[in-house]
Amino acid sequence: MKDGFRQSMAWLHTWSGLLLGWLLFAVFLTGTVAYFRQEVTAWMQPELHGSVADAGTAERAVERMGRIAPDAAQWTIALPGERTPAVSVSWRPADAKPNDRAALKRATLDAGTGEVLEPRETAGGNFLYRFHFELYGMPRETARWIIGIATMAMLVAIVSGIITHRRIFKDFFTFRPEKSPLRSWMDGHVAAAVLALPFHLMITYSGLLLFMTMLMPWAVDLAYDGNRQTYFAESGFRRAAPAPRPAPQAAPLTPVAPLLAEAERQWADRGGVGTITVTNPGRANATIELRPAAADSIGRGGGGTERLLFDGVTGRTLEVPPTDPQPGAMATGNYLMGLHLARFAGPGMRWLFFVSGVAGTVMVGSGLILWVVKRRSQRSRADNRADGPEPFGHRLADRLNIGVVAGLPLAVAAFFWANRLLPAGLEERAGWEIGVFFLAWAAALLHAPLRPSRRGWAEQLWAGAALFALLPVLNAATAAGHLGNSLPAGNWLLAGFDLTALAAGLLLGFAARKVGRNAFSRKAASAPVLPAGAVAEELT
Amino acid sequence: MILSSLCIAYAGFLALALAMDRHHEQILARRPSARASRLLGWVGWAVLALSLPPAIVAWGWAIGLPAWLGLLTVAAAALALLLPYAPRAALRLGPAAVVCAPLLAFLA
Amino acid sequence: MTTLPSRMKAGLAGADGRRRLDVASRCLAGIGGGYALAAVAAMFLALALPLALAMPRAEAVYTATMLSFAIHAGAIVWAFSVRARRVWPGLLVPALLLGGGTWLLHGLQQGAPS
């Protein structure tokens, strides 16, 4: 009876993981990169690499805004920091409706001079971030439903996987790369799953919560008779109150330096000032709001709730309207979603999330490969016909594995290459970058069935390894912010990208070499390493 | 503080691995006695628990707890990768981590 | 392609078609029936929590919706872990009970002056 139950769970684990596994792999991979989406975007805009912040950056930016958009209703100035080299500014024209994000105008300023920069148009890290929950080229809601369903499959796979693999602590450190492919893939899969299990549970459940009103609208619609706005207002997800209309009488803006000094003093351990919002600049009712660079809470929205508010004409400190405390349930949900989004995370924390995300990617990828490896080993044991034709389903899964597990990293690398090789002034440039990404991925998916399995794996892994490992070289050839400059200058924003690309290339190269040797060979798969009963017991 | 938490966690996982027959053999080429195994197990869990306070001191509960779990992932992954390729190094890193942990805490 | 667990095969020995039917039935029960159960449970909790624990309405809705995903996942896992004849009744009976409770609570609220 007990074994029957575990076998059912193993079956559920296998199929819930497999059917949406290729999509989940893409979600995990792009989502993991998205932890560094600002850094990725920064790398993809070499025009900004010369921008270096100094003590006068904020003041210069405010002064520049007074010339770019003197009549705007509001300026928002995001100062450079560890994750962005330049100043990003946006402003709302006086005639635009409040809360109309599409009406916002944007520009990028050099942190050192305040000059307006014209960076190349790029899809940036934002493309990978959006892709991981909205895919591309389909209606947003449809895509979100597909991702939501895949996320639920992931949750089911995690729960049934935990039940199947009950000896979680016993096999904690078991990784035996020298054993049969079946054993070592199994070890790798379990290790990646178990070592980061809290992360996997958090990221999956909070992924569902991020779509909760779309996926499960029934409670809201019943309790509020379909009036969701009331619900959002009562839950504290209220949008900020619209800014007051500009006063008719003009008044010069107070010097910002003393306000900034005050904020820097208060937020010494918070990375200083992060954003400056000036409402009704140049009018008698102007206000200046400052927020710290580092968040003070995990909750959604980032930046926390702490801020300083000043009268924009006199420079006097104004009282910040208190924010409503969050009820327990919302605080719990927001905490989980905040962890998922990781907007609060400093560099150390961000790397921990990244490593856990890599573990998740490895978990999904190794699970997909395990499905094929296990069936090969079963087949060769069952009828000694290891040379007979492989069933269509197994071949299909194997080729999809090649095109996704090896092909997607290759496509991501191609995306970065496109960023540097496409002419900077190209029309629809961001669209072309995305086009190259999908072309490379499609080529990988088409290449896979045309080659023998092992060859296909090795070729695509080598291609991905080369593309990633040569990214620092490409960077050196096309921009000034290469490792030779970024490392001596301690510019970890750029050096971090190059070094991570190099590491990804080495890892893929390592995998490619292993594939070339034995990992997928039928000979190795057919070698009897475990008694048949043990395999069935353990790996159903 | 963060690195010191990581070092303590590694030492804890190493003790836990040494408490298991398979890994004990992998590292020291002999099986542990039942008593040694039990003792190492207790020490391992206790040391793992000790790796939590530095993370909480550095980051507070809200961020420190998930950060600690992330550090555990990194420490255990390092050990799992070292065991098959360099078991002796995995063992030698243990005392080194124990020595480094308080030093790193003082430096921070 | 895959060896199905023995329990699912019980009584269906050799009948490949019926085995597939069993799997399809469990999938439908877990995914569709499980979603229905989760939705009804969320609606019931959204109305019952304010009465039982004096929770504010928005918080009750939020809590109920947050829990509903665990209920759905649990229902899917459950649909694959019990004997075939218990799958549908086991999901539908609680769904109907919760549905009845929701209908009663909703009726009470509509009747009461707010």
Whether residue A227 is contained in a domain is answered as: no
Residue with tokens 């105008």: A105
The answer as to whether A325 is a domain residue is: no
User: What residues have CB less than 8 Å from B101, skipping those under 6 apart?
Assistant: B4, B7, B8, B11
Cβ <8 Å between A5 and C7: yes
CB A69 within 8 A of CB A94: no
Helix-helix angle A471-478:A453-469, to 10 degrees: 40
What's the pTM value of the predicted model, to 2 decimals? 0.90
The domain segmentation of chain C, as residue ranges, is: 15-111
β-sheet bridge partners, residue A311: A287
Contact status, residue A160 vs residue A138, Cβ threshold 8 Å? no
Which among C42, C58, C74 has CB closest to A218?
C42
pLDDT over 90 at A499, yes or no: yes
Phi-psi region of A314 (alpha: psi -120 to 50; beta: other; left: phi over 0): alpha
| pLDDT of A523 above 50 | no
Residue position matching structure tokens 């199929």: A15
User: A329 in a domain, yes or no?
Assistant: no
Q: Does a structural domain hold residue A221?
A: no
Query: Does the CA dihedral B34-B40-B43-B49 come out positive or negative?
Result: negative
Average pLDDT over residues A58-87: 92
pLDDT greater at residue B15 or residue B58: B15
Is residue A292's pLDDT more than 80? yes
Q: Which of A335, A340, A341, A352 to mutate against chain B (most B CBs within 10 Å)?
A: A352
d(CA A180, CA A244) in angstroms, rounded, equals: 69
Mean pLDDT over residues B42-48, rounded? 95
**DSSP one-letter string for A124-175:** HHHHHHHHHHH-SSS-HHHHHHHHHHHHHHHHHHHHHHHHH---TTTTTT--
Hey, where are the domains in chain B? Answer: 2-107
Which residues on chain C place their C-beta less than 8 Å from a C-beta of chain A? Answer: 1-8, 38-40, 42-43, 45-47, 55-66, 68-70, 72-74, 76-77, 80-81, 102, 106
Sheet holding A105-109, edge to edge: A116-117, A105-109, A87-92, A74-78, A273-279, A287-292, A308-311, A317-318
Determine the Cα–Cα distance for residues A46 and A50; give it in Å rounded to an integer.
8
Give pLDDT, residue C10.
47
Mean pLDDT value of segment A271-283: 90
In a domain, A332, yes or no: no
Residue A250: which pLDDT band, with cuts at 50, 70 and 90?
Answer: confident
Of B63, B72, B76, Cβ closest to residue A349 = B63
For the ranges A402-416, A417-431, B46-60, the maximum mean pLDDT occurs at A402-416
The span from the CA of A28 to the CA of A24, in Å, is 6
The subunits that touch chain C, with at least 3 C-beta pairs less than 8 Å apart, are A
Domain that holds residue A81: 49-119+239-318
Give the distance from residue A391's alpha carbon to the nearest chain C alpha carbon, in angstroms.
9
Among A144, A277, A281, CA closest to A214: A144
Q: Residue A336 pLDDT more than 80?
A: yes
Place of tokens 């000059």: A115
Q: Does A67 touch chain B (CB under 8 A)?
A: no
List C-alpha distances in Å: A467 to A447, A464, A481, A501, A506: 17, 5, 19, 9, 11
Q: Is residue A229 part of a domain?
A: no
CB contact under 8 A, C2 and A7: no
DSSP code string of A206-237: HHHHHTHHHH--HHHHHHTTT-HHHHHHHTT-
Nearest residue of B to residue A170 by CA position? B20
Distances in whole angstroms, Cα of residue A139 to Cα of each of A101, A120, A135, A143, A145: 19, 27, 9, 6, 10
Instruction: Supply B74's token pair.
Output: 């990194």
Are C69 and A223 an interchain contact pair (Cβ–Cβ within 8 Å)? no
CB contact A223 to C (< 8 Å): yes
Structure-token match 């014209």, residue found = A118
Handedness of CA A111, A112, A116, A118 (dihedral sign): negative
Percent of chain C with pLDDT over 70: 83
- In what helix (H) or strand (E) does residue B49 lie, and over which residues does it extend? helix B34-50
Residue A436 is assigned to a structural domain of this protein: yes
Dihedral, CA of residue A212, residue A215, residue A216 and residue A222, to nearest 10: 100
Query: Where is pLDDT greater, at A175 or A208?
Result: A208
pLDDT over 50 (residue A536): no
Residue with tokens 């009470």: C108
Handedness of CA A373, A379, A385, A389 (dihedral sign): negative
d(CA A16, CA A161): 10
Overall average pLDDT of the A373-391 stretch: 75
Average pLDDT over residues A448-460: 94
Cα distance between residue C46 and residue C40, in whole Å = 10
Beta strands A273-279; A116-117: pairing state: unpaired
For residue A360, give the H/E element and its range: helix A347-383
Identify the residue among C31, C80, C83 best suited for mutation to test binding to A, counting A beta carbons within 10 A and taking the highest. C80
pLDDT interval class at C114 (50, 70, 90): very low
Average pLDDT of span C63-92: 94
Give the sign of the dihedral formed by CA B32, CA B33, CA B34, CA B36: negative
Q: Suggest the residue from B61, B69, B104 to mutate for an interface test with chain A (most A CBs closer than 10 A).
A: B69
Angle between helices A21-34 and A124-134 (to 10 degrees): 150
**Residues 6+ positions from B60 with CB-CB distance below 8 Å:** none
Residue A296's closest CA among B1, B108, B63? B63
Chains A and C touch (3+ CB pairs under 8 A): yes
pLDDT over 80 (residue A535): no
Which has more pLDDT, A489 or A468?
A468
Torsion of CA A480, A481, A486, A491, to 10 degrees: 140
Question: What is the model's pLDDT at position A102?
Answer: 80
Q: Which residues pair with A108 in a beta bridge?
A: A88, A117
Averaged pLDDT score across all residues of chain B: 90
- The span from the CA of C114 to the CA of C109, in Å, is 8
Closest-CA distance, A94 to chain C, in angstroms, reads: 36
Place of tokens 């019926």: C18
**A191, part of any domain:** yes
Choose, out of B27, B42, B63, the residue to mutate when testing the contact with A (most A CBs < 10 Å).
Answer: B63
Question: Could you say which of A174, A191, A352 has the minimum Cβ distance to residue B71?
Answer: A352
Question: Which residue reads 């820097």 in tokens?
Answer: A264
The CA distance from A450 to A445, in Å, is 10
The DSSP secondary structure of C30-88, one letter per residue, reads IIIIHHHHHHHHHHHHHHHHHHHH---HHHHHHHHHHHHHHHHHHHHHHHTTS-HHHHH
A408 & A529 share domain: yes
pLDDT exceeds 80 at position A104: yes
First to last CA, chain C: 59
> In chain B, positions 10-69, which contact chain A (CB-CB < 8 Å)?
13, 16-17, 20, 22-23, 59, 62-63, 66-67, 69
Q: Tell which wins on pLDDT, A238 or A338.
A: A338
- First-to-final CA distance of chain A: 16
Asked if residues A476 and A483 have their Cβ atoms less than 8 Å apart, the reply is yes
Q: Into how many domains does chain A fold?
A: 2
CB-CB contact of A311 with A299 (8 Å): no
The verdict on A39 and A53 lying in the same domain is: no
In a shared domain, residues A446 and A503 = yes
Range of lowest pLDDT (A12-16, A53-57, A456-460, A515-519): A515-519
Sign of CA dihedral A452, A454, A457, A458: negative
Q: Do A375 and A245 have their domain in common? A: no
Q: Which residues of C touch A300 (CB under 8 A)?
A: none
pLDDT at A533 over 60: no
* Cβ separation C62–A333 shorter than 8 A: yes
Say whether residue A162 is in contact with chain C using an 8 A CB cutoff. no
The pair of three-digit structure tokens given for residue A81, joined into one six-digit string: 């920091």
Is residue B13 within 8 Å of B48, Cβ to Cβ?
yes
| Collapsed DSSP state (helix, strand, coil) of residue A488 | coil
Out of A26-35, A84-93, A175-184, the most confident range is A26-35
Three-state DSSP state, B75: helix
> Using CA atoms, how far apart are residues C61 and A232, in angstroms rounded to an integer?
11
Residue A25 in contact with residue A361, Cβ under 8 Å?
yes
Task: Give Cα A247 distance to the centre of its chain.
Answer: 42
Residues in chain A within 8 Å Cβ distance of C77: 9, 12, 156, 159-160, 163
Nearest CA in chain A to C42: A219
